[in-house]
Amino acid sequence: MASKGDLTKARLAASMLELIQTSGYSGTGLNAVTEHAAAPKGSIYFHFPDGKEGLGVAAVDLAATQFETLILEAAASAGSAAEAARAAIEALTTIVGDSDFRLGCPVSVVTLEMGAESERLRQACASAFESWIAPTAALLEANGVDAAGARSLATVVVSTIEGAVIVSRAMRSTAPLVSAADVVADLIDQRCQTVGGTR
């Protein structure tokens, strides 16, 4: 069972994650995080001695885990790689739309804001993207795509999804994500058919 301290640390990371999505990394102050998490004011530096940067890394790691879980669940329930990709994108589309386009991908937000300012945050973001590319590539390999081709296509898929989330938020429309789901699913289907994989 998690200790009270562990629960507070997890709440702080979750609050930082949510606030990054709505206010950006630079726009998220530590006081706002403690207030959102209903945590004591001194708790951030107790759990994250390096302050905001450490908390930001924890938030990015949490986002990475959440989306990786979404990918793995989609892969487990879908009949093909194309269906899995579509299911994952549809889940993201629901999140973005239901939040009135306030929520998107916090990893892309941190990358754009802090990638050139903090090597530690850049590395956390790179690891997050890798944690999504790797299981996507594994799924493609399981559908008959060679390792190099699977890695390349998985990178394109994740990059397409990230871009579609940003464009959807800018346009306040889920259409870019819907289009991305169609194009990504067709692309995966074509690649799997070419190598003799299953639909």
**Residue recorded with tokens 């892969």:** 75
| Residue 187 in this model has a pLDDT that exceeds 70 | yes
How far is CA 153 from its chain centroid?
17
| Residue 159 in this model has a pLDDT that exceeds 60 | yes
Check residue 194 and give its pLDDT: 82
We report the CATH number of the domain holding residue 13 as: 1.10.357.10
pLDDT, tens digit, 9 for 90 and up, residues 160-169 = 999 999 999 9
In a domain, residue 102? The reply is yes
Average pLDDT rounded to a whole number, residues 23-41: 95
Check residue 59 and give its pLDDT: 97
Percent of the chain with pLDDT over 90: 87
Say which residue, 195 or 112, is predicted with more confidence: 112
In a domain, residue 54? The reply is yes
Which backbone phi and psi does 176 adopt, to 5 degrees?
-60, -35
pTM: 0.91
In a domain, residue 171? The reply is yes
Contacting residues for 29 by C-beta, under 8 A, at least 6 apart = none
Check residue 195 and give its pLDDT: 74
pLDDT, tens digit, 9 for 90 and up, residues 18-28 = 999 999 999 99
Q: What's the whole-number average pLDDT of the chain? A: 93
Average pLDDT rounded to a whole number, residues 56-81: 93
Per-residue pLDDT band at 79 (split at 50, 70, 90): confident
User: 162: domain range?
Assistant: 4-194
| Residue 46 in this model has a pLDDT that exceeds 70 | yes
Percent of the chain with pLDDT over 70: 97
One DSSP character per residue, 106-142 reads: HHHHHHHHHTTT-HHHHHHHHHHHHHHHHHHHHHHHH
> What total number of domains does the chain contain?
1
For residue 18, give both structure tokens. 């949510």
In a domain, residue 199? The reply is no
| Residue 102 in this model has a pLDDT that exceeds 80 | yes
Contacting residues for 149 by C-beta, under 8 A, at least 6 apart = 140, 191, 195
Check residue 196 and give its pLDDT: 63
Average pLDDT rounded to a whole number, residues 36-58: 94
Distance CA 135, CA 139 (A): 6
Check residue 197 and give its pLDDT: 42
